[in-house]
Amino acid sequence: MKRLLAVLLLLMCTVSGASASGTWLMFDEDHVPEEQGFRVQDEFTGTVCITFLGDCTLGGEEKVRSAYRGFARTVERNGFEYPFRNLIALTGKDDLTVANLEGVLSDRELPKVRKEFNFIGSAAYTGILTAGSVECVDLANNHTHDYDNAGYADTKEALEKAGIAWFGTDGMAIWKSDEGLMIGFLGVYGSLSGSKAKQFQQRAEILRSMGCGAVITVMHAGTEYDPKPDGYQRQIVAKAAPVSSLIVGHHPHIVQGVEDRDGVPVVYSLGNCVFGGNGNPKDHDALALQAELHFDEGELTGITLHFYPISVTGEANFNDYSPVLLEGKGAERVLRKMEESTGVSPGMFDRETGAVMDFHPKK
């Protein structure tokens, strides 16, 4: 029997001067809740700003847990505010921040599944997310089951205790703003064909029927370190774009570009962010994305994307697990990689606004 996923969370986080509020609902298609408050949408007029961050591994492999430059000891020395300290200028001023949580959060001794890399960190590391003003995480990826179903269950329990929402392959999420606007989130991992495609379509229809003014698909797919989107990513986009307002991706561990799919913005890969799984990633370049969703009487009228180039580390020769915002030639290099990936220029870089692109939904 599937676990009942209907979990209602009231988030009122105040961290480092930042505040976020709203009501969350997480559930699966077999347990669609009857809460009337989530089925009546006010005719909201205004803009909602959402920050998206790439692969975040809060922890790492067990064999390097005690290493001086490992994630655990670095956080022990510097505190939970340390990993996102340079990004709080973005995450602390938005309405909502969504990150890809790639790994397990558990304090139990659990058997790991047989694979090349298994990532795990303390359940207390949810404090890193709240300190970084991250309100929601995507769990639809290839590391949330590194310690099988038990580790996955521990991760979700730790998040819920901390008041952090989640969505994944086994559930969707809705955020309802204080003004009554609802935004739905769907997670896709690997590909979207057969029964997975049917399930995705069903979930998108549920979110729309409940009154979501926008549905955002977050995909974890692609070929690692390939600068161009692969067939799996394009397959997901082809199936997801007709029912999505925005598609944001990660998994390749590097930056990929952006496309306009009939008015739906598609960002193929943000790359890494706070990535405890590697002491020195092959590519330090990545992106933080801010999406401004513009509404007029409840209808989505446009999306403005702000691309902020980042380095996953402030050190040149090793990973210090504290991403920094890039400027000048560094920022231009990252944006050039985006253009080379899809042939679409993300625009000129500005220190305050990043590189800006506007999209308009097709009627």
- Which tens digits make up the pLDDT trace of 204-255? 999 999 999 999 999 999 999 999 999 999 999 999 999 999 999 999 999 9
Q: Is the model's pLDDT at 16 over the cut of 80?
A: no
What is the per-residue pLDDT for 66? 81
Is the pLDDT at 14 greater than 60? The verdict is: no
Whole-model pTM: value is 0.94
The mean of the pLDDT values for the chain is 92
pLDDT, greater one: 91 or 5: 91
Contact 243, 211 (CB under 8 A): no
* Best CA proximity match to 204, nearest among 319, 103, 212: 212
User: Given a cut of 70, is residue 153 above it in pLDDT?
Assistant: yes
The backbone torsions φ and ψ at residue 248, rounded to the nearest 5 degrees and listed phi first, read -130, 135
Nearest 5°: phi and psi at 56? -120, 115
Residue 163 has pLDDT above 50, yes or no: yes
**pLDDT class of 36 with cuts at 50, 70, 90:** low
Q: Which two tokens stand for residue 348?
A: 């000129």
Q: How would CATH label the architecture of 7-291+302-359?
A: 4-Layer Sandwich (3.60)
Q: How many whole angstroms separate alpha carbon 188 and alpha carbon 80?
A: 29
Of residues 35 and 28, the one with the higher pLDDT is 28
- CA 289 to CA 346: how far, in whole Å? 12
Q: Tokens 């394009």 appear where?
A: 234
**Does 122 have pLDDT greater than 50?**
yes
Instruction: Give the closest residue to 60 by CA, choosing from 286, 273, 275, 270.
Output: 275
